[in-house]
Chain A
Amino acid sequence: MTIFDLDFMRYALVAAVMVGLTAPAVGTFIVQRRLALLGDGIGHVALTGVALGFLTGTAPVATAVVVAALGAVAIEMVRARGKTSGDVALALLFYGGLAGGVMIIYLTPGESTASLNSYLFGAITSVDATDLWVIAGLAVAVLALLAVFGRELFVLCQDEEVARASGLPVRFLGLLIAVIASVTVVVAMRAVGLLLVSALMVVPVATSQQLTRSFRTTMALSMVFGVLATVGGLTSSFYLDVPSGATIVLLALAGFAVALGIGRFVRRSRTGESTA
């Protein structure tokens, strides 16, 4: 029996490809903007959204998108103020999101924190046809927005002051990247869980930048690494009978370690040539 014989695995594989493409694409801008942990913050806030879904009887993905987007906007507004206490304010929001989620789920009749487990750690094999349409729609929207605004986002993430002196709508673009990130977090939530979501936004980018020279190839290669990690992790978790989310992230980290070694070797041999 192969994994393609099972409906749920076919759905899971398609979802894995979507997540593997979108998370690193957004992640490239987020890392360039020095906000590598933004995904973590949004993930914590999204948990309150998931719990609200249970409480109100609506789809947790829908409530998670709304709450995560609001959280991302709040984070961006705190950041844009540029006060030194910005990171503390962000931390408060993260803990509030996590504690809020746990409290709301406790107050929901018939639910317990165990209901949150699949959202915290991922349950990609539970994706059904409807989920798949939602995930695909969100992923396409994210990639389309990045394609349209990519040039402006590059300038913004490189140097905000230069973006302002070029007449770019800096506040709008800052909110846009925050909202795109929050949608991506919710898309990736099903695959690796809210606690590991940021790994898929950051690790493939960190892997890729060991080997590349340009922004464009860094982004493209990180998307390749992202898909390798999600699809490879999902497949091996199926055959080894281990949790998929953790396998995906561990595989991505292993890829980083290998790229780090290769990158060091290549740079050393290049320096050797030029000094020789």
Chain B
Amino acid sequence: MSTAFDMTAGQVTIDGRKILRGVDLTVDDGEVVAVLGPNGSGKSTLVRALLGVQPLSGGTTLLYGRPPARFREWWRIGYVPQRLSVGGGVPATVREVVASGRIARQRRGRLTSSADRQAVAAALNEVGLSDRAGDPVSSLSGGQQQRVLIARALAGEPDAFVLDEPTAGVDSGSQQMLAETLSALVERGKTVVLVAHELGPLEPLISRAVVLNQGCKVHDGAPPTAVGTHALPGHDHVHPHEPEPAETTLPGWALAQEKA
């Protein structure tokens, strides 16, 4: 069995503030790891540092045995960021965004292959958005946008998925859909690292939980029970079905929320 992610004494400092204070974390192939902790504990920073997207100020991190700068097999990684960036307002359809997940498998200057198209169609189908493929992503609800992001990662057919708060601000229907998608990935033996505020319907899938507090790892092992999660220091309860306020009002956003 090989190791997907391997961080040793990982430190991250942003604007002089220590966000991660020396975290050791190894994730083996096929593991399903949840990164838990209160707001501001460094969960997102940890997974972004695991990928090399957030540079370390100390320590090392390896992707399949190589530091991010020398890693070449990026198609093995599927990263799902916290939210969909809608860019500067230039529209993009669901299919365009999902198809961009193939980028690590495509050669520069080559046309889109039939394998690309099949993978995109399969990914759209898996998250139940085939019928919305031609719609602009800005017209979707928060939960549907989250599914687009997951479909983008699925389209790349990676070995390891890294999901940053996939359940935050997502309606219960999309949460259920996410749980089903994840369990299908787990069955196929994929590696999953996900950041969560609370596990909800994902709980039965998790093989291991890492709990952070103030940039330090305070627990690594069996997932805490639901009661335990709620009892974590600094925990504040967030209703998953409560839509997060959008930073800017997207066209059709309010309407899509009502429909969802």
Question: Which residues of A are in contact with B by a Cβ distance under 8 Å?
Answer: 28, 31-36, 148-149, 151-152, 154-155, 157-159, 161-162, 164-168, 205, 209, 212-216, 218, 267, 271, 274-275
- B77 within 8 Å of A (CB atoms): yes
List 20 A-B pairs, Cβ < 8 Å.
A28-B90, A31-B89, A31-B90, A32-B90, A155-B103, A157-B87, A157-B88, A159-B85, A162-B81, A162-B85, A164-B51, A165-B51, A165-B79, A166-B79, A166-B103, A209-B89, A209-B91, A213-B93, A214-B96, A218-B90
Contact B81 A213 (CB under 8 A): no
Q: Which residues of chain A come closer than 8 Å to B135, judged between CB atoms?
A: 213
Contact A154 B100 (CB under 8 A): yes
A164 to B85 Cα, complex, angstroms: 14
Kindly report which residue of chain A lies nearest to residue B76, judged by CB atoms. Answer: A167
Contact B53 A155 (CB under 8 A): no
Given A159-B85, A165-B79, A167-B104, A205:B74 Cβ within 8 A: no
Contact A159 B134 (CB under 8 A): no
A35 to B79 Cα, complex, angstroms: 25
Given A28-B90, A215-B90, A215-B92, A158:B100 Cβ within 8 A: yes
Contact B81 A164 (CB under 8 A): no
A214 to B85 Cα, complex, angstroms: 15
- B67 within 8 Å of A (CB atoms): no
Q: Which residues of chain B come closer than 8 Å to A159, judged between CB atoms?
A: 81, 85, 87
Total A-B pairs, Cβ < 8 A: 100
CB-contact partner of B87 in A33, A165, A214, under 8 A: A33
Query: How many of chain B's residues touch chain A, expressed as a range?
Result: 35 or more
- B204 within 8 Å of A (CB atoms): no
Contact B48 A161 (CB under 8 A): yes
- B108 within 8 Å of A (CB atoms): yes
Contact B108 A165 (CB under 8 A): no
Q: Mark B100-132, 1 if CB is under 8 A from A, else 0.
A: 100110101100000000000000000000000
Task: Tell me the residues in window 227-253 of chain B with beta carbons closer than 8 Å to chain A beta carbons.
Answer: 251-252
Task: Tell me the residues in window 46-100 of chain B with beta carbons closer than 8 Å to chain A beta carbons.
Answer: 48, 51-53, 71-72, 74-75, 77, 79, 81, 85, 87-93, 95-97, 100
Contact A216 B96 (CB under 8 A): yes
A158 to B81 Cα, complex, angstroms: 12
Q: Which residues of chain A come closer than 8 Å to B100, judged between CB atoms?
A: 151, 154-155, 158
- B255 within 8 Å of A (CB atoms): yes
A164 to B92 Cα, complex, angstroms: 20
Distance of B70 from chain A, by nearest CB (Å): 11
Given A34-B87, A165-B51, A158:B92 Cβ within 8 A: yes
CB-contact partner of A162 in B79, B92, B109, B255, under 8 A: B79
Given A165-B74, A165-B79, A213-B136, A158:B108 Cβ within 8 A: no
Given A151-B100, A215-B91, A167:B81 Cβ within 8 A: no
Kindly report which residue of chain A lies nearest to residue B95, judged by CB atoms. Answer: A214
Contact B104 A32 (CB under 8 A): no
Contact A152 B103 (CB under 8 A): yes
Q: Which residues of chain A come closer than 8 Å to B136, judged between CB atoms?
A: 213-214
Q: Which residues of chain A come closer than 8 Å to B109, judged between CB atoms?
A: 148
A36 to B48 Cα, complex, angstroms: 28
9 residue pairs, one from A and one from B, having the closest CB atoms: A167-B74, A165-B79, A32-B87, A32-B90, A34-B88, A159-B85, A214-B93, A215-B92, A213-B136
Given A34-B88, A215-B90, A151:B96 Cβ within 8 A: no
A151 to B107 Cα, complex, angstroms: 10
Given A164-B52, A168-B103, A213-B136, A32:B88 Cβ within 8 A: yes
A205 to B75 Cα, complex, angstroms: 32
A34 to B88 Cα, complex, angstroms: 5
